[in-house]
Amino acid sequence: MRYLILEDGSIYAGEGFGSNKETLGEVVFTTGMTGYQEAITDQSYANQILVFTNPLIGNYGITLADYESIEPGIKGVICHQVANHPTNWRMQTTLPKFLDHLGIPG
C-alpha cells in the first residue's frame, strides 16, 4: 500500500509499483493518451509527481529509443492502472521495472 499525502492533510491510498522510496514533489497531471515514457523522461516535469489521466499506462513497455532525457527528473508517477505484462516487439523493460531501477515510486 502506498499513500499520497497532500499539503492540506488529505490522504489517498493506492497500490504501489516502481521504487519503494518516499518522495516529495508538486502533483501535476497530463492528459496524453499515449507517450507515457516521453512524459516521464521529459525534464519539464522535473521535481514533480506526474498523474496520468489516461486509465492505463505501461501497455507498450519502455524502449531506450523513446527517452526524452536519459535521467528523468520526476519524483513519482500516479495512475489508475499499470500494465505489468506489456506487449511490444520494441520493449526493453516494463514500466514498473524502469521506475524501480531509477528509484522513482509509482
pLDDT tens for each residue of 69-87: 888 899 999 999 999 899 9
Cell of 72: 528523468
**CA–CA dist 51, 34 (Å, integer):** 13
Is 18-102 CATH 2.60.40.10? no
**How high is the pLDDT of residue 70?**
81
83-104: average pLDDT: 94
CB-based contacts of 7, cutoff 8 Å, min separation 6: none
In this prediction, residue 67 has a pLDDT band, given cuts at 50, 70 and 90, of: confident
Q: State pTM to two decimals.
A: 0.93
SS3 56: strand
What are the two backbone dihedrals, phi and then psi, of residue 101, each rounded to the nearest 5 degrees?
Answer: -60, -35
Query: Does residue 94 have a pLDDT over 90?
Result: yes
Give how far the C-alpha of residue 80 lies from the chain's centroid of Cα atoms, to the nearest Å: 11
**CA–CA dist 25, 30 (Å, integer):** 15
